[in-house]
Chain A
Amino acid sequence: MNSNENAHDPLVEQALIGFDLAAEHHIAHCEPCQTERERVEEALCRFGAANREYANRPASFWEQQAASIRAAQQASVQRSRATLALVPSVVVLLLLGFAVLGRAPGVRPVAVAPPPAQTDSDHELLVGVERAMGRRTPLALEPATLMVEESSGNEPLNSTDESKERRSHEN
């Protein structure tokens, strides 16, 4: 058998998987393959029978299992019924809620307007930005500019009205 087992291997497996005409034809004429097939088939039959026997349970086990499945199935049905029963109730509650809110006295839609204080501060900020843009020198550097002007006796670097005014006050 060992001499030809490699050459004939696929045929034995093919015959074991299911009916295969070529494999059956070969095995019918090859004694080693026939023996090998019978050997593996026997082991597989024992394997199947032993496992079926092992998985066998007393009738009480199956009764108990069926009862557990029935209980779980009924619980599932009750859960889905409860969910279905809740849907109209929730819809009715929502509709009631909207109706009550819509009819409540004193509840009127109010147009949302920006608070006046915020509007004023925005305007002031814009004016401040415009003034800052009109200056030649940034506000923080103005004292230095004045010192340079005084020491050199030149014309004022910052010609804005504000700085002129401030210089006249200083004088």
Chain B
Amino acid sequence: METALTSAFGAAAQKITAEEFDAIVRRHQRRVHRFLLMLLRDPEEADNLTQECFLRAYQNLSSFRGESSLETWLLRIAANLARDHARSRKASFWKRLLGLDDEAENGAAAHVPSGDASPEQVLLAREDVRAVWDVANQLSQQQRAVFLLRFVEEMELTDIADALGLQVGSVKTHLFRALQTVRGKLRDLR
């Protein structure tokens, strides 16, 4: 939901005060951080890139035209940072070496909301989460970004397209392929 502050942000981007910028950080940092954590599966890097994302946003305020929402613009910066980070061979080497690829998968599975479910149901739910993560890991980074924005962030297709600089049709295609794989994986579980 855009507020007066964020909608005014586009018009008077360069005149924003430190306090106003701080308010924007506090409003959007959770989503940006979560998106980066899901994409990178590395809590430390997600934290670093969240900071970098807001810093870049501040330095490039003049390029924000207010055509998309501020949050979409921030997520686009975050996605670009994650893509650049993933291209770094050094980063993937250390990630593989330290087994960080499995960190988010196991970490998320351990956070399955149990509610009134029986231990057996919780176990099945964890299997589901692991299976979906397993599929997400096999996707290309762009496909994973689309998938996570849709099913973790619960964003609309048009917003996903804006955030990743894609056509809505491409977003649908990425989701279609990902869902086909998810369905296949879930079938194998049973």
- A residues near B (Cβ < 8 Å) are 9-10, 12-14, 16-18, 36, 39-40, 42-44, 46-55, 57, 62, 65-66, 68-70, 72-74, 76-77
Contact = CB atoms under 8 A, between A and B. Distances in A.
Interface string B42-64: 00000100110011001100000
Nearest to B180: A13
Contacts of A42: 128
Contact of B151 (A47, A62, A69, A73): A47
Contact of B51 (A47, A57, A68): A68
B57 to A, nearest CB: 10
Contacts of B180: 9, 13
B151 A13 contact: no
Interface of B: 18, 21-22, 25-26, 29-30, 33-34, 37-38, 47, 50-51, 54-55, 58-59, 104, 107-113, 125, 128-129, 131-133, 148, 150-152, 154, 157, 172, 175-176, 179-180, 182-183, 186
Given A40-B182, A50-B129, A65-B47, 10 more contacts: A10-B176, A16-B179, A47-B132, A48-B151, A49-B112, A49-B113, A51-B152, A55-B34, A66-B25, A76-B55
21 contacts: A17-B150, A17-B157, A43-B182, A43-B186, A44-B132, A44-B151, A48-B154, A51-B34, A51-B152, A53-B108, A53-B112, A54-B107, A54-B111, A55-B34, A57-B30, A62-B30, A65-B50, A66-B26, A69-B29, A69-B51, A72-B51
Contacts of B113: 46, 49-50, 53
Contacts, number: 121
A69 B152 contact: no
A62 B34 CA distance: 12
A17 B176 CA distance: 7
A8 B79 CA distance: 34
